[in-house]
Amino acid sequence: MNRPNIMYSTCLCARYQSEPKESHLIVVKRIFRYLKGTPNLGLWYPKDSGFNLTRYSDSDFVGCKLDRKSTTGGCQLLGGKLVSWTSKKQISVSTSTTEAEYVAAGSCCPQVLWMRNQLLGYDLQLTKIPIYCDSTSAIAIANNPVLHSKTKHIEIRYHFIRDHVMNGDIELHFIPTDYQLADLFTKPLDETRFNFLISELGMLNLED
C-alpha cells in the first residue's frame, strides 16, 4: 500500500472481514470514493533527501468499543521522508493511556532497529535514533531501568525498549499531540487535521 492516508480506515475494515455487515460495505465504498477523487495524491521522494532516521509512535486508548483494546500507530521517516508506517490493534487491553503509549513505543523499537541494521550495509552507523512520543509518562517508564510493581503486568516483550534506551541505540523524545504524525494511524480525524498530517508526511499532488 502506497497510500498511508487510508491505512487506518482499511485496517479498521479488515477487522470485520470474516463477518462483514452492510455498514462495513458502506465504509469501504466511501474509501473507494475518496481514492477515486484523489488519484494523483502520493508520496514524493526527492533525490537530495538525507539519511537521518526518525520514528513517531502513538496510540489511542481503548479505541475499539467491542473489546476495549487500543490501536498502535507508527511511522518511520528516512531523511524526513516517509518510508514505513503501521496501524495495528494491540493484543491486550491497556489499563491507562500511559500503558497504551508505552506498548506502542515498545512495538516500534524492533522496526527502528531493523532499519538501522539495513543501513549498516550502506556504511551508515546510526545511534540515538529518536522516537517521538506524546506521553511523558511512557517516556519516563522507558528511561527507568527499574521494573516497578505498576508496570509488571505489561508483557515483557515491550520492556525490550528499555535495554536499547540504556545502550544509546534509541532516544525517546516528547512531542506535542498537535505535531504527532502517527496520530493519522490511530483514530479517525476531522478533515482539517487529516489534511495537515498527510501534508506533513509528504503526500502531494504528483501532477503539480
* Cβ atoms 77, 115 nearer than 8 A: no
CATH code of 177's domain: 3.30.420.10
**In what helix (H) or strand (E) does residue 94 lie, and over which residues does it extend?**
none
Instruction: Kindly list the distances between the CA atom of residue 114 and the CA atoms of 101, 110, 118, 130, 163, in Å, as whole numbers in the listed order.
Output: 21, 6, 6, 14, 15
| Distance between CA atoms of residues 29 and 15, nearest Å | 16
The per-residue pLDDT string of the chain (208 residues; one tens digit each, 9 = 90 and over) reads: 578 999 999 999 998 888 889 998 999 999 999 999 999 898 988 888 788 999 999 999 988 888 899 999 999 999 989 999 999 999 888 888 988 998 999 888 889 999 999 998 889 889 999 999 999 999 998 888 766 656 666 767 777 788 888 888 899 999 999 999 999 999 999 999 999 999 999 898 887 6
Its domain, for residue 160, covers: 4-205
**Residue matched to cell numbers 494491540:** 90
- CA 118-2-14 angle, to 5 degrees, is 105
CB atoms within 10 A of CB 179: 13
**Burial bucket for residue 72 (CB in 10 Å: 0-12, 13-18, 19+):** buried
Contact 42, 206 (CB under 8 A): yes
Q: What is the DSSP string of 54-84?
A: EEEEEE-SS--TTT---EEEEEEEETTEEEE
3-state secondary structure of 189: coil
β-bridge mates for residue 43, sequence order: 203
pLDDT of residue 88: 92
Task: Look at residue 150 in the predicted model and tell me its pLDDT.
Answer: 66
Number of domains in the chain: 1
User: DSSP code of 181?
Assistant: G
